[in-house]
Amino acid sequence: MELPAPLRQAVDRILEKIPLPELKQAAKTLSDRYRAELRDGRLHMAQDMAVKAYLATRLPATYAAVRASLDTLNAARPDFAPQTLLDVGAGPGTVLWATNDLWPDLEQAVLLEASAAVRKVGETLAADAITTRTVWRAGDVTTDLADLRPADLVTCAYVLDEIVPASLPKMVDRLWQLTTDTLLIVEPGTPAGWQRILAVRAQLIAAGAHLLAPCPHEAPCPLTAPDWCHFSRRVARSRLHRLAKDADVPWEDEKFIFVAASRQPTASHAARVIAPPKSGSGKVLLKLCREDGTATEQLFTKRDGAEFKLARRLDWGDRLASE
């Protein structure tokens, strides 16, 4: 997956003539903070160079994860076409770009972001390319949600890992109150990210939400540590991206986990592939999370006819639509 052309071009203009050593150092510092999940009271992207490092090295991956999550949501609710968006912890507008790409008729978006440096860059990126009426608001995701207006689609992507755990239940409760239709929360695809999504999932179910994706059921998650639920999306790296990360290959795999919940139930609850398929000559083994709340492996062979033909086309994260 690649960034939309207008976004990629806007990023390239911002990153022109940035000294590579400075960008590499800022990228390393930013990466170290994300990996450590630091909660030291400082914003990860308070400084202009940190924002530029994010654009070069993290924006393509977070965009891919958000867009993949939105695609899965859309497959579960093909009738859903939001007119309004509220994105909490918006960064440089990653969710806005992904949402606008999927639903170009989106009318209005409110983006809450604490960092002034990030808001400035986000406004610059979207200025000549996004037609959605967009309002950027300064605010902390844990303390400044009270006066926001509800929206059809409420999103919170790659934010919970920066929040003190004790603050999460109140924050999630407020996000759900602000949701008139669908709430999407995306996190890094780490065991810790999965645990945060599990907590959000349980809280939303208790509040009466209907799970749209990725789970085909509302029973307790059948996976146990050291296993964990997550998905992956391959992301194209630009030349500058490779240079900033001292990377050789022109791509990277972004691991992510998400939960999409709605006030409207979904009609489809097909099993979902929750691990990379294992293929062999005339056979494919799929690990499936099923509607009955179990997770099992199922072997499909040529003897299964049409089911085998379907199974061998499925990828990690796809639904077993024949069920």
Q: Measure the CA–CA gap between 183 and 286, rounded to whole angstroms.
A: 29
Q: Which residue has the tokens 């977070």?
A: 62
CB 115 within 8 A of CB 139: no
Superfamily of domain 5-262: Vaccinia Virus protein VP39 (3.40.50.150)
Question: pLDDT truncated to tens, each residue of the chain (323 aa)?
Answer: 889 999 999 999 998 888 888 888 877 777 777 666 654 445 546 578 888 889 988 999 999 999 999 999 999 999 999 999 999 999 999 999 999 999 999 999 999 999 999 999 999 999 988 999 999 999 999 888 999 999 999 999 999 988 889 999 999 999 999 999 999 999 999 999 999 999 999 999 999 999 999 999 999 999 999 999 999 999 988 888 787 777 788 889 999 999 999 999 887 789 999 999 999 999 999 999 999 999 999 999 999 999 999 999 999 999 997 54
Long-range contacts of 193-198 (CB under 8 A, 24+ apart): 193/160, 193/161, 193/230, 193/256, 193/257, 194/228, 194/229, 194/230, 194/257, 195/228, 196/160, 196/161, 196/168, 197/229, 197/257, 197/258, 197/259
pTM: 0.92
Domain boundaries, the chain: 5-262, 272-311
Q: Which residue has the tokens 């179910």?
A: 205
Residues composing the chain: 323
CB 27 within 8 A of CB 57: yes
